[in-house]
Amino acid sequence: MHESRYLLETPVGYRRDHGQFFTPPKVARLMVEWILRNNPKTILDPAFGLGVFYDEILKVDPVPRIHFTGYEIDGQILTYLNHGNNHSNLSIINADYLEADLGSFDAIICNPPYMRFQKFLNRHNVLPQIEKKIGIKLMGYSNIASVFLIKALKELRENGMLSFIMPFEFFNTGYGKEVKRTLVKEHLLKQIIVFSNEKDIFPDATTTVCILLCEKNDKEDVIKITSIHSEHEISKITDINDYYQNEILPSALPYKKKWTPIISSLLSKKDVPSGFCRISLYGAFMRGIATGANSFFALNKRRIQELKLSDRNICRCITKSPQIKKAVFTEEDFNTLYDNNYPVYCLDVKEHDSPEVVHYIQQGEKSGFQKRYLTKNRYPWYKIEHRQPAPILFGVFSRGRLKIVRNYSSAINFTCFHSFYPNLFGEKYIDKLFVYFLSDRGQEIIKMNKRSYGNALDKLEPGDLNDCLCPNQEQLDMIADWEADQIIEIAKTEGKKAIMKSNQVIDRIIHSQRCVRQVAKQVG
């Protein structure tokens, strides 16, 4: 393989646009050994790239008796191949696999491209064809890797073996439901391999990845869960089929539920405390305001004065996550940002005939802001969503600790934060929920629903947060109001101390529940 030369000579942007990252040879070997178990005569690689899987097959069988078919849409990468004309068993087709009408194969192995399906230019033509062939309605915002997988599963022969690298996030997403349904209902999934330190093993990956090992034998076997911690560990594995830490019944992986918390709990050996309920019992997280043109809508003090915009046509708004540094955000904090010329106001037109407003909108239209994806579907294009200030804000992206903010200001927020709006039942628990979110144990439980994008970057969608678990009413009532008030007051100036205090409170709740369970067992 000429991977090093390709990486050196090909811009990162080009590789990102094509969703390319390369499979380390040691990982490829594990995947190849899986698909060779049933002695296949035909193998398909839907995203051939530089041919790492074929290279590994040659190491196992230098004179292979297998016919290997590789599809690759990128003609440029094929110019870097080191496979000569002497490989009569190899067919490389420079075409889009998703448009190919293929037969069936004894084995399929793939590291598919990683990109949202919206970025696939021919998706409107390809998607209906794929849906017709597989008999499944796919969501248009699927990651293209999931579309590759579900098409490949339909092209796998009886007793065929499949090994696929997938973004770990698909276990939690809406678009992953149909894929998971197929994997479980048709008894295809046999093993899931996750990597606890993917940057050590997949240094070029832009998302956290896993490997799915499948066999089309119509047997409802237990699903093996494997965790690999380092590249060195891979070298010690002689048979991936026998290398696993846990087993789980297919029935314990409902396709409609998020799989990440289930898998993570198996590997971490950490149980969710007894009695915990969904956060949605107390209210709902919503995404922040999506303007479609933040540079137009976000305004600082100087710009507001230049434009002479009245208070009737602007509203207080957190427009960027770094504007909030501490876990408690007050009106005084907001005013400090405004006085220091941070863009903490948003255009919110109430007086459409105001000369100042009309002038600014005309400026925006000259710059083409009204033609952007979101703005062109609004009337008028400069209208923003109506929102109330949320008492709790949750950072969308995080590295390490999740960003949680108790908001006492009158500011709304852009999509840099998710907003928690309590229902009537949850209003009295706002401060106590904040204490839970701030605690290390709370964050650990919430992270079970995260989506990982590689390089230690995690993301939580509103639905992910609403499905997270937290203490029930009886458990939250164990936190005294004065304790919650004290932690919030400390968090204004001493973040680490506030976390420590919140840990003590949440640990007390969990410990008391354990004691109750132990007493109940003894009485029983």
Query: Are 357 and 311 spatial neighbours (Cβ–Cβ below 8 Å)?
Result: no
Predicted confidence at residue 231, as pLDDT, reads 78
Amino acid (one-letter) located at 141: Y
Q: 249 and 275 share a domain?
A: no
Q: Bridge partners of 210?
A: 166, 194
**pLDDT surpassing 60 at residue 522:** no
Question: Is residue 201 included in any domain, yes or no?
Answer: yes
What is the tally of structural domains in the chain?
A: 3
Predicted confidence at residue 60, as pLDDT, reads 80
Predicted confidence at residue 513, as pLDDT, reads 64
Question: Is residue 389 included in any domain, yes or no?
Answer: no
Burial class of 131 by CB neighbour count within 10 A (0 to 12, 13 to 18, 19+): middle
For 200-235, give one letter per residue: b (16+ CB within 10 A) or e. ebbeebbbbbbbbbbbbeeeeeebbbbbbeebebbe
- State the chain's mean pLDDT as an integer: 86
Q: What is d(CA 134, CA 510) in angstroms, rounded to the nearest whole number? A: 47
The average pLDDT across 15-22 equals 67
Predicted confidence at residue 65, as pLDDT, reads 81
Residue identified by tokens 């005309």 is: 362
Predicted confidence at residue 233, as pLDDT, reads 85
**pLDDT surpassing 70 at residue 345:** yes
Which conformational region is residue 278 in: left (phi greater than 0), alpha (psi within -120 to 50 degrees), or beta? Answer: beta
Predicted confidence at residue 519, as pLDDT, reads 43
Predicted confidence at residue 236, as pLDDT, reads 83
The average pLDDT across 340-353 equals 96
Predicted confidence at residue 117, as pLDDT, reads 53
Question: Is residue 426 included in any domain, yes or no?
Answer: yes
Top mean pLDDT of 112-116, 150-154, 489-493 is at 489-493
Query: Are 160 and 105 spatial neighbours (Cβ–Cβ below 8 Å)?
Result: yes
**pLDDT surpassing 90 at residue 235:** no
**pLDDT surpassing 90 at residue 402:** yes
Token couple for 204: 């070029």
The average pLDDT across 394-418 equals 95
Q: 193 and 96 share a domain?
A: yes
Q: Which residue has the higher pLDDT, 483 or 55?
A: 483
* 160 φ/ψ angles, rounded to the nearest 5 degrees: -75, 155
Amino acid (one-letter) located at 299: L
pLDDT digits (tens, 9 = 90+) for 79-106: 777 655 457 789 999 998 988 888 899 9
The average pLDDT across 359-363 equals 97
Q: 45 and 130 share a domain?
A: yes
Top mean pLDDT of 17-31, 203-217, 342-356 is at 342-356
Predicted confidence at residue 203, as pLDDT, reads 60
DSSP string, 5-33: HHHHHS-HHHHHHTT--PPPHHHHHHHHH
Residue identified by tokens 């890797």 is: 145
Q: 375 and 336 share a domain?
A: yes
pLDDT digits (tens, 9 = 90+) for 43-85: 999 999 888 899 899 888 766 688 999 998 888 877 777 655 4
Q: Which residue has the higher pLDDT, 274 or 407?
A: 407
Q: 261 and 345 share a domain?
A: no
Q: 185 and 241 share a domain?
A: yes
**pLDDT surpassing 70 at residue 10:** no
**pLDDT surpassing 80 at residue 372:** yes
**pLDDT surpassing 50 at residue 160:** yes
Q: Taken in order 214, 218, 219, 223, is the CA torsion positive or negative?
A: positive
Which conformational region is residue 158 in: left (phi greater than 0), alpha (psi within -120 to 50 degrees), or beta? Answer: beta
> What's the N-to-C CA distance of the chain in angstroms?
65
Q: What is d(CA 463, CA 468) in angstroms, rounded to the nearest whole number? A: 9
Predicted confidence at residue 259, as pLDDT, reads 87
Predicted confidence at residue 367, as pLDDT, reads 96
**pLDDT surpassing 90 at residue 138:** no
pLDDT digits (tens, 9 = 90+) for 181-200: 889 999 999 999 988 755 56
Question: Is residue 392 included in any domain, yes or no?
Answer: no
Predicted confidence at residue 523, as pLDDT, reads 45
Cβ-based neighbours of 471, under 8 Å, separated by 6 or more: 273, 275, 276, 277, 432, 436, 506, 509
Question: Is residue 411 included in any domain, yes or no?
Answer: no
Q: 222 and 261 share a domain?
A: yes
Examine the fold and report which residue of 216, 237, 268 is the final residue of a domain before the chain moves on.
268
**pLDDT surpassing 60 at residue 422:** yes
Q: Within 10 A of 159 (CB to CB), how many other CB atoms are there?
A: 12
Question: Is residue 225 included in any domain, yes or no?
Answer: yes
Confidence category of residue 14, pLDDT binned at 50, 70, 90: low
Q: Which residue has the higher pLDDT, 463 or 389?
A: 389
Q: What is d(CA 417, CA 322) in angstroms, rounded to the nearest whole number? A: 11
pLDDT digits (tens, 9 = 90+) for 314-327: 999 999 999 999 99
**pLDDT surpassing 70 at residue 24:** yes
Q: 130 and 227 share a domain?
A: yes
Q: How far is CA 501 from the centre of its chain?
A: 31
**pLDDT surpassing 90 at residue 416:** yes
Token couple for 369: 């802001």
Question: Is residue 407 included in any domain, yes or no?
Answer: no
Q: 236 and 371 share a domain?
A: no
Whichever domain contains 188, its CATH number is 3.40.50.150
Q: 101 and 20 share a domain?
A: yes
Q: 209 and 129 share a domain?
A: yes
Q: 35 and 135 share a domain?
A: yes
The average pLDDT across 406-413 equals 98
Question: Is residue 341 included in any domain, yes or no?
Answer: yes
**pLDDT surpassing 60 at residue 466:** yes
Choose among 301, 381, 390: nearest CA to 349: 381
Predicted confidence at residue 263, as pLDDT, reads 85
Please give the C-alpha separations between residue 205 and each of 16, 24, 111, 228, 455, in angstroms, as whole numbers.
10, 11, 11, 16, 8
Q: Within 10 A of 125 (CB to CB), how many other CB atoms are there?
A: 10
Choose among 468, 26, 398: nearest CA to 240: 26
Predicted confidence at residue 13, as pLDDT, reads 67
Range of the domain at 9: 3-268
127-141, 155-169, 323-337: least confident range: 127-141
Confidence category of residue 365, pLDDT binned at 50, 70, 90: very high
Query: Are 441 and 509 spatial neighbours (Cβ–Cβ below 8 Å)?
Result: no
